[in-house]
Amino acid sequence: MDAPLLTSIQSPADLKRLSVDQLPQLAQEIRQAICDQVALTGGHLAPNLGVVELTIALHYVFDFGYDRLLFDVGHQCYPHKLLTGRLGLLPKLRTREGMAGFPDPDESKYDLFAVGHAGTAISTAVGMARGDELNGETNRKSVALVGDASIVNGVAFEGLNNAGTLDRQFLVVLNDNGMSISEPQGAMAAYFDRVRVSPTYGDFKKRARKVLENIPGGSILEEIYHRGGEILKHAIATDHIFEHFGLVCVGPVDGHDLPTLVDMFNEIKDIDRPVLLHAKTIKGKGFDPAEDDATAFHSPKPFTVDGCRVELATSGRSFTAAFADAMLQLMAEDEKIYTVTAAMGPGTGVDKLIDKYPSRTRDTGICESHAMDMCAGIAKTGQKPFFAVYSTFSQRALDQAFQEVALQGLPVRVCMDRAGLVGGDGAVHHGFMDISIFRPLPGAVLLAACDEPTLNASLRFMKDYDAGPSFLRYPRDSVAKTPFQSDTDCPPFQLGKANLVIAPKDKPDLVVLAYGMPVYHAAQAIESLRGEGRDIALYDARFAKPVDIELLRKVISADIPVLTIEDHALAGGFGSAVLEACNEAKLPTHQVKRLGLPMKWIKQASRSAQLAEVGLDAKGITHAIREMLSNHPAPSPDTAVARTP
């Protein structure tokens, strides 16, 4: 048996000491290491298995300690990290002490940007190429590795449009695995399905001059053709869609053929023109369950392998599953509802709706801006669009929410999964800005759900709210097994009205206004304080816009302190909305305290650990309540007044 190779790789310099014949063994070891670890901790599996050979070949040929390598999307970076000295961090993948699931410059000089959104690499690579030229470092090479259908993102096309104007080396590696997170969508996906292997070298040689004379940039291609090696001559594509962006297009080539990839990169690396290499790969390559179902194994929970069976770990019922079931019910009741997602079908639960209502559900691909505008168009026709999107991705459609939705007063319903802290994905995916981003839009309504009954009630409210856009947030978490109220007991959402969850016995010593799932953490905190003789009222705020000003007026006029709690940045969030509403109503705010996310980046860890870190778990909320009560002595029995509603 050959000696293991991966443990000897501390940097790409060690990789370059291997022979090309040894690289397939290294690829197999990298796949095994990733599979073994993701089985224990969860993480992005199929995207990384599919890019192993491409990553090895790139590091084998280029020097990314000096050259530039940018990822699009970032979740395909695990092989890159293992080749750049981070094998020791793999056992604690997606934890604070271990390897981040996305590129992270704090972790290694080989990671240039902390990035988890799609469409960004080509533009940032163009920027670095231009900056290197200005610095006189024209020998620094730039490579953008683009995968999981992120090439269809509008920003990627803007980057390509500008990449074609470069007069220097620039390489885009298109990792075409025929997949996004799930099946890719749109005309571009259909185009890639039609692309076939380029003509053979013999045929190309016979017709090369005629072709080169009649295509844009023909003289450039002719120069490259005469300069290049045999492999490059075989693979130059003269009818590729991206040729019209001013890029020399090569391929498609087999993205798992290591010797050919190494030869290809060696021939391409010194071409002083922008080049796009189109590589065909298999998402989930080397792990049969992931190859068979790349969607399920895109970012699985921990799993076990028992012979031919693979079992994914299960947890409680998620908000995502609850959303999908609620929408199935609403779509059965109202034929005007149309649901949209942007390449997040499984992640938002919309895949269930596509199966049941294919004519009233659409996955646009990784195109949040387009999806928001399409929803505006749908709403303009009198239909009822619901846009299911991660909170962190909703911000990519802010301009469209402003111009085409809110400015027109259109009732687009935006349902934001993964709001707040998201756990192992870390800072690149936290949904901490949605309140502050969308609250300024005139006519917009902002809601939050704290459990399954309130999720169902909030969606019903949105269905019938036609005065403007509505934005609902809910976390990446499990719904409460025992909610405060059942669906039948849960009061309907009324615009701008909070809901009393824990009633005081008398005049409360403190009123807690919690927005979203922090309601449950606040309830745990209040329960822990029951033996301390203080009376605390808890409200599910429900709305961040408009806030319940009538409740605030009653509470503050009675000289009762108020604590606001949210799983969102304090800047511009729910607490800020409360302060602004009080200011407008001329209510004093010296006894209003806000609890939310601090002004710092929260790194990868479990969601529960992140909540504890920022004081938003039950223990942290208990501490905040005690601190407030210590400055507000308990009233004597003779001064108690009737309970505040």
Which residues are known catalytic residues?
Answer: 283, 368, 396
Q: Using the 8-state DSSP alphabet, how is residue 131 labeled?
A: H
Judged on CB neighbours under 10 Å (0-12, 13-18, 19+), 239 is: exposed
Which residue has 């002490």 as its token pair? 97
Q: Using CA atoms, how far apart are residues 616 and 568, in angstroms rounded to an integer?
A: 10
> From CA 433, how far away is CA 567, in angstroms rounded?
10
Round to whole Å and give the CA distance between 454 and 487.
8
Give the C-alpha distances (Å, rounded to integers) separating 306 from 11, 37, 46, 129, 484: 35, 16, 19, 48, 40
Asked if the bond preceding 252 is cis, omega within 30° of 0, the reply is yes
Beta bridge partners of 385: 338
Query: Which residues have a Cβ under 8 Å from the Cβ of 250 and sit 6 or more positions away?
Result: 232, 235, 236, 237, 264, 268, 275, 276, 277, 278
Helix orientation angle between 452-464 and 319-333, rounded to the nearest 10 degrees = 40
Say whether 485 sits in a helix, a strand or coil.
coil
DSSP H stretches of helix in 76-120: 78-83
Cross-strand pairs, 445: 470
* Exposed/middle/buried for residue 309 (C-beta within 10 Å: 0-12, 13-18, 19+): exposed
Sequence-distant (≥ 6) Cβ neighbours of residue 273 within 8 angstroms: 166, 167, 168, 169, 170, 220, 224, 247, 248
* Distance in angstroms (rounded) separating the CA atoms of residues 471 and 454: 14
Q: Which residue has the tokens 């111009």?
A: 403
Pick the closest to residue 155 from 426, 399, 414 (CA basis). Answer: 399
**Residues 344, 391 contacting (CB under 8 angstroms):** no
